Amino acid sequence: DTEVTQTPKHLVMGMTNKKSLKCEQHMGHRAMYWYKQKAKKPPELMFVYSYEKLSINESVPSRFSPECPNSSLLNLHLHALQPEDSALYLCASSHRDFYLVEQYFGPGTRLTVT
């Protein structure tokens, strides 16, 4: 089973709201990732967690706050977002954070900021 699940599937939020995206995998993977994908563009890496520790933050604004409570779960907390943050947010996982190892993606959360 190579399934990564994400909730919610769709989210509409105002610029003053606080919301969270959730990602879960039960494949025993120890690396998890958040990507942002704008329409007709490839995904862009936001954060990497390796063994539940944040290892890469690609200069993402502080209104995005990741959290990895355990090895199966990854959250992305959202606060005071801007309309330009509207995008598809993809979670991915891999056995470990290493270049030979493939990443498996979830279905994404489509976020609209109004």
Partner 1 sequence: GDSVTQMEGPVTLSEEAFLTINCTYTATGYPSLFWYVQYPGEGLQLLLKATKADDKGSNKGFEATYRKETTSFHLEKGSVQVSDSAVYFCALRNYGGSQGNLIFGKGTKLSVKP
| 46 neighbors 58 (Cβ within 8 angstroms) | yes
Angstrom distance (rounded) from CA 49 to CA 69: 11
Q: Are 5 and 24 in contact (CB under 8 A)?
A: yes
Nearer to partner 1, 17 or 75 (CB): 75
- Using alpha carbons only, give the angle 31, 66, 28 rounded to the nearest 5 degrees: 25
**Spatial contact of 26 and 106, defined as CB atoms under 8 Å apart:** no
Minimum distance of partner 1 from residue 16's CB (angstroms): 28
Nearest approach in angstroms of CB 63 to partner 1 is: 22
Residues that bind partner 1 (CB under 8 A): 2, 4, 6, 40-43, 45, 48, 56, 58, 88, 90, 92, 97-108
73-79 and 18-25 strand pairing: antiparallel
Judged by beta carbon, residue 78 or residue 92, the one nearer partner 1 is 92
Q: Which is nearer to partner 1, 12 or 101 (CB)?
A: 101
Please report how close the Cβ of residue 47 comes to partner 1 at its closest, in angstroms: 11
In terms of CB distance, is 1 or 99 closer to partner 1?
99
